[in-house]
Structure 1
Amino acid sequence: MNGNSAPEILREKKLRVTNVRSEVLKIFEKKNYALSYNDLHNELRNKFDMATIYRTLATFVENNIIHQVPLDAKTSYYALNNPPGAIETSHKEHVHFVCKKCNRTFCIDEILIHNIVLKKNFKLDSLKIIAEGTCGSCSNK
């Protein structure tokens, strides 16, 4: 996303610029960690109905604007692909870092995962690497 405004990003992806899409994208740009549907719903303060927010998330995933973070089966978390200041990765497999103090999840785009060698006749569909520890904000408290 690297410096483009929400409307520019949506136009780049050939998506209609709507209030909900712009606002959801601005929230992702403002935060530097993964967000759940509930996080977004709380940030938006009930401006949009649940179905509209879910459809927006699905559209953003389909169009490679955000990606789903593989944490647990109960709650889906999403993170912005290539947020400002991140390495342009076209969002390859990467490490996710979970802070054990604030429970926020961060994409560590600087550590790309590639060249996984599997046993013969094994096929990799996805790779999930979760690192856990204390984030910079919590470390400084």
Structure 2
Amino acid sequence: MNFLNLEIYLDYIKDNGYRCTPQRSSILSYFIGQKNRFVTAKSVTDHLQNKMGNVSSDTVYRNLHLFKDIGIIDLTFQDGESLFHLKNEINTHEYKFICTECGNTTDLNLCPMEKMDTALNDYLIYDHKFEVYGVCPSCL
């Protein structure tokens, strides 16, 4: 199921005890417009500053990390930079191929944890992530 509907995300924020501020709404709208791409916090900040005026990067980072903590956004790192991605489904694990050229992502329909559970029998696993990096056909 592909949510990418602003109201669903805003309702989820409220359900988790947080207010739906104009900044939060604008950040989520920006991600929805990015159509399944990873983006930098700087690009989010630039968008908010263009749209709303004086918005600090601290405000953006605080909200991005709040969204990550409640399961709306994924965070990854590439070349020492934090990249953020709006999840298609709230509070689920997503597995992605990420193009290192254009930033577009493709969902992978598999869960590597099915194999890892037996390999890590004596470990307590509390979360996981699976990402594959390369160049997509459009960028080749």
Structure 1 vs Structure 2 CA RMSD: 2.8
After TM superposition, list the pairs within 5 Å mapping 1:122-137 onto structure 2: 122-124=123-125, 126-137=127-138
Larger helix proportion, structure 1 or 2?
2
Shift of 1:120: 5.0
1:105/1:4 Cα in 2 relative to 1: closer, same or farther (>3 Å)?
Answer: closer
After TM superposition, list the pairs within 5 Å mapping 1:41-56 onto structure 2: 41-45=45-49, 47=53, 48-56=55-63
* Residue 10 (1) aligns with residue 10 (2): yes
How many residue pairs were aligned? 130
TM-score (norm 2): 0.72
Task: Find the residue that maps to 1:52 and give its secondary structure.
Answer: helix
Shift of 1:109: 4.9
Counterpart AA for 2:68 = V
TM-score (norm 1): 0.71
After TM superposition, list the pairs within 5 Å mapping 1:1-40 onto structure 2: 2-6=3-7, 8-14=8-14, 15-31=18-34, 32-40=36-44
Structure 1 regions of 5+ residues with no counterpart? 83-87
Counterpart AA for 1:51 = D
1:42/1:111 Cα in 2 relative to 1: closer, same or farther (>3 Å)?
Answer: farther
Q: 1:75 aligns with which of 58, 81, 91?
A: 81
Counterpart AA for 1:41 = T
Distance in 1 between residues matched to 2:69 and 2:78, nearest whole Å: 20
1:65/1:100 Cα in 2 relative to 1: closer, same or farther (>3 Å)?
Answer: closer
Counterpart AA for 1:52 = T
Structure 2 regions of 5+ residues with no counterpart? none
Q: 1:64 aligns with which of 68, 71, 92?
A: 71
Deviations 1:39-90 (A, max 9, x none): 2123224631111111111211122111212x348221111122xxxxx474
Runs of at least 4 residues of structure 1 off by over 6 A?
none
Counterpart AA for 1:67 = D
1:91/1:57 Cα in 2 relative to 1: closer, same or farther (>3 Å)?
Answer: same
Sequence identity (%): 24
1:85 aligns to what?
none
Shift of 1:95: 2.9
Distance in 1 between residues matched to 2:66 and 2:131, nearest whole Å: 25
